[in-house]
Amino acid sequence: MRRLGVHTSIAGGLHMGIKRAHELRCSTVQIFSHNPRGWKTKEISDEDITLFKNLREEFDISPVYVHASYLINIASASNTLREKSIALLKEEMQRADLIGADFVVLHTGSAPDRYARQRAVMSLREVVDREYNAGLLIESTSGKRGDITSNIPEMAELINSTGSLISGICIDTCHLFTAGYDLSKDEVIDRLSEEIKKYIGEDKLKLIHLNDSKSECGSGIDRHEHIGMGKIGKKALKQFITHTTFRDIPIILETPKKTDAEDIENLKRVRRMIQR
């Protein structure tokens, strides 16, 4: 069964993320483990941990992905920001372990100088100075100036520089598109597949963030759009997620939403795409 889910809200407790996913008929889910707009976190209660784990098992929600805070920038030239980022990423990993999540998804950050990747590698080595049960995934980024993981060779370079610290990758269709991968072309989807096989390995592709794009291909502007309503389009997204390399990878939608109705509609479109 193809695992399909959305990023759900944890308002009312972490377990509510699982409950909301189930109500949307999702089989996988992504959440924040705390308010992503702040550096301070609230301790997870034993009750919430138990509720989360029990509901996950009851509803068969798997894998569970925790998205790390967008404040984190492990490539930053600012020592202060980088130290805060390292501390928060360690906490993200610890919180993921507490609730039994499978993976933490990380935006590595950016910096407009040639030492950004080197700083990111040093930061990651400091973060993973102990073992975690949850795996760490790095996410493809949108290609804006200073990004260090906006294409597959760049992601591979970061993985190869950190040994076994990174469990795998998450690719985001909107980010790939704005970074220059024109997913409306079959030959580009094939090239992306070959790059993953050559530089990273199919076994390390753990998650697809499926989003259409409000921005043009190669623009470097990260603006997600509803499925089939953006510059990538329904036909191209279907070709992508049914490609032999990508057809069994779990999918999480991060499409815009003001109400649950928008999640329901986007999920409906994707379910039609993946029907075999």
What confidence tier does 206 reach under pLDDT thresholds 50, 70, 90? very high
Stretch 182-204: mean pLDDT, rounded?
Answer: 97
**∠ Cα 11 12 13 (to 5°):** 95
CA distance 109 to 235: 31
Q: Does position 4 have pLDDT exceeding 70, yes or no?
A: yes
Taking only the tens place, the pLDDT of each residue in 17-45 is 999 999 999 999 999 999 999 999 999 99
pLDDT the model gives residue 129: 65
Q: Does position 275 have pLDDT exceeding 90, yes or no?
A: no
pLDDT the model gives residue 276: 63
What confidence tier does 130 reach under pLDDT thresholds 50, 70, 90? confident
Residue 216: count other Cβ atoms within 10 Å of its Cβ. 12
Stretch 52-61: mean pLDDT, rounded?
Answer: 98
What confidence tier does 165 reach under pLDDT thresholds 50, 70, 90? confident
Sequence-separated contacts (24+) of 11-19 with Cβ below 8 Å:
13/48, 13/51, 14/44, 14/48, 14/49, 14/51, 14/52, 14/99, 15/48, 15/51, 15/52, 15/55, 17/52, 18/52, 18/55, 18/56, 18/59, 18/61, 18/64, 19/55
Helix 116-127 crosses helix 79-99 at what angle (to 10 degrees)? 40
Residue 153, amino acid: P
CA distance 190 to 230: 21
pLDDT the model gives residue 258: 86
Taking only the tens place, the pLDDT of each residue in 93-127 is 999 999 999 999 999 999 998 899 999 999 999 99
Q: Residue 250: is the preceding peptide bond cis (ω within 30°)?
A: no
pLDDT the model gives residue 213: 98
Average pLDDT of every residue of the chain:
96
Q: Does position 14 have pLDDT exceeding 70, yes or no?
A: yes
Q: Report the percent of the chain where pLDDT is more than 70.
A: 99
Determine contact, residues 36/70, Cβ cutoff 8 Å: yes
DSSP string, 231-257: SS-HHHHHHHHTSTTTTTS-EEE----
What confidence tier does 1 reach under pLDDT thresholds 50, 70, 90? confident
Stretch 209-223: mean pLDDT, rounded?
Answer: 98
Domains and CATH numbers, the chain: 4-274 (3.20.20.150)
What confidence tier does 66 reach under pLDDT thresholds 50, 70, 90? very high
Q: Does position 188 have pLDDT exceeding 90, yes or no?
A: yes
Determine contact, residues 272/238, Cβ cutoff 8 Å: no
Pairing of strands 212-213, 224-225: antiparallel
